[in-house]
Protein backbone atom coordinates (compact mmCIF):
# COMPACT_ATOMS: atom_id res chain seq x y z
CA UNK A 1 0.00 0.00 0.00
CA UNK A 2 1.49 3.40 -0.94
CA UNK A 3 2.05 5.79 1.94
CA UNK A 4 1.02 9.44 1.82
CA UNK A 5 0.56 12.10 4.49
CA UNK A 6 -1.77 15.10 4.27
CA UNK A 7 -1.70 16.75 7.71
CA UNK A 8 -3.98 19.67 8.52
CA UNK A 9 -3.58 22.50 10.99
CA UNK A 10 -6.52 24.68 12.02
CA UNK A 11 -5.63 28.38 12.33
CA UNK A 12 -7.60 31.41 13.45
CA UNK A 13 -6.33 33.87 10.83
CA UNK A 14 -5.37 32.64 7.37
CA UNK A 15 -3.18 35.60 6.36
CA UNK A 16 -1.15 35.58 9.58
CA UNK A 17 -0.74 31.81 9.48
CA UNK A 18 0.15 31.75 5.77
CA UNK A 19 2.97 34.23 6.41
CA UNK A 20 4.28 32.25 9.40
CA UNK A 21 4.15 28.86 7.65
CA UNK A 22 5.73 30.33 4.52
CA UNK A 23 8.69 31.37 6.68
CA UNK A 24 8.66 28.01 8.50
CA UNK A 25 8.68 25.95 5.30
CA UNK A 26 10.96 28.31 3.38
CA UNK A 27 8.57 29.54 0.71
CA UNK A 28 5.02 30.19 -0.36
CA UNK A 29 2.38 27.46 -0.40
CA UNK A 30 2.63 24.84 -3.11
CA UNK A 31 -1.11 25.19 -3.60
CA UNK A 32 -3.74 27.65 -2.42
CA UNK A 33 -6.74 25.35 -2.39
CA UNK A 34 -9.33 27.93 -1.26
CA UNK A 35 -9.17 31.52 0.02
CA UNK A 36 -8.62 30.10 3.52
CA UNK A 37 -6.67 26.89 2.86
CA UNK A 38 -3.05 26.51 1.71
CA UNK A 39 -0.85 23.46 1.19
CA UNK A 40 2.93 23.00 1.43
CA UNK A 41 4.46 19.87 -0.09
CA UNK A 42 7.33 18.83 2.17
CA UNK A 43 8.30 15.75 0.14
CA UNK A 44 6.67 13.46 -2.37
CA UNK A 45 3.26 12.44 -1.03
CA UNK A 46 3.86 14.36 2.23
CA UNK A 47 2.01 17.63 2.67
CA UNK A 48 0.93 19.98 5.43
CA UNK A 49 -1.99 22.34 5.06
CA UNK A 50 -3.47 25.19 7.05
CA UNK A 51 -7.19 25.78 7.18
CA UNK A 52 -8.85 28.82 8.75
CA UNK A 53 -11.09 27.24 11.38
CA UNK A 54 -10.86 29.51 14.44
CA UNK A 55 -12.98 27.25 16.61
CA UNK A 56 -10.34 24.49 16.29
CA UNK A 57 -7.13 26.55 16.15
CA UNK A 58 -4.25 25.93 18.51
CA UNK A 59 -4.56 22.19 19.10
CA UNK A 60 -2.28 20.66 16.42
CA UNK A 61 0.91 18.81 17.29
CA UNK A 62 3.15 17.72 14.39
CA UNK A 63 6.61 16.15 14.37
CA UNK A 64 8.72 16.24 11.23
CA UNK A 65 12.09 14.47 11.03
CA UNK A 66 14.87 16.13 9.04
CA UNK A 67 18.43 15.18 8.12
CA UNK A 68 20.08 18.39 9.38
CA UNK A 69 18.30 19.71 12.46
CA UNK A 70 21.02 22.21 13.37
CA UNK A 71 20.99 23.66 9.86
CA UNK A 72 17.21 23.96 9.88
CA UNK A 73 17.17 25.65 13.30
CA UNK A 74 19.73 28.17 12.01
CA UNK A 75 17.72 28.82 8.81
CA UNK A 76 14.51 29.33 10.78
CA UNK A 77 16.24 31.78 13.12
CA UNK A 78 17.37 33.76 10.06
CA UNK A 79 13.69 33.89 9.02
CA UNK A 80 12.67 35.22 12.46
CA UNK A 81 11.29 31.93 13.79
CA UNK A 82 12.89 30.69 16.99
CA UNK A 83 12.57 27.38 18.78
CA UNK A 84 10.57 27.49 21.99
CA UNK A 85 12.47 24.47 23.25
CA UNK A 86 15.31 22.21 22.14
CA UNK A 87 15.91 18.87 23.75
CA UNK A 88 17.71 15.57 23.39
CA UNK A 89 15.93 12.43 24.56
CA UNK A 90 17.66 9.54 26.32
CA UNK A 91 17.78 7.55 23.06
CA UNK A 92 19.66 10.39 21.32
CA UNK A 93 16.72 11.70 19.28
CA UNK A 94 16.78 15.50 19.17
CA UNK A 95 13.80 17.85 18.81
CA UNK A 96 13.28 21.58 18.31
CA UNK A 97 9.77 22.78 19.15
CA UNK A 98 8.09 25.78 17.51
CA UNK A 99 4.66 27.30 18.05
CA UNK A 100 2.66 29.20 15.45
CA UNK A 101 0.67 32.35 16.39
CA UNK A 102 -2.27 30.14 17.51
CA UNK A 103 -0.12 27.88 19.68
CA UNK A 104 -0.08 24.90 17.31
CA UNK A 105 3.08 22.89 18.02
CA UNK A 106 5.43 22.01 15.18
CA UNK A 107 8.43 19.93 16.15
CA UNK A 108 11.43 19.13 14.01
CA UNK A 109 13.48 16.16 15.03
CA UNK A 110 16.54 14.23 14.01
CA UNK A 111 17.72 10.69 14.55
CA UNK A 112 20.52 10.00 17.02
CA UNK A 113 23.93 11.03 15.75
CA UNK A 114 26.36 8.15 15.49
Q: What is the pLDDT along the chain (114 residues), one digit of tens a residue?
A: 678 999 999 999 999 999 999 999 999 999 999 999 999 999 999 999 999 999 999 999 999 999 999 999 999 999 999 999 999 999 999 999 999 999 999 999 999 877
The ranges assigned to domains in the chain are 5-110
Rounded Cα distance, 51 and 95, in Å? 25
The residues near 35 (Cβ < 8 Å, ≥ 6 apart) are 14
Specify the pLDDT at position 81. 97
Cβ-based neighbours of 29, under 8 Å, separated by 6 or more: 18, 21, 22, 38, 39, 40
> Which pLDDT score is estimated for 3?
85
User: Which class is domain 5-110?
Assistant: alpha beta
State the pLDDT at residue 9: 98
Name the pTM for this structure: 0.92
What pLDDT does residue 1 have?
66
DSSP code, position 113: P
CB 30 within 8 A of CB 74: no
Amino acid sequence: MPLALYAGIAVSNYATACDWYSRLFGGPPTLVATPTKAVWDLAEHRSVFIDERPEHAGHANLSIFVDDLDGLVAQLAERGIHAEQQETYSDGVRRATYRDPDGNEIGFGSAPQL
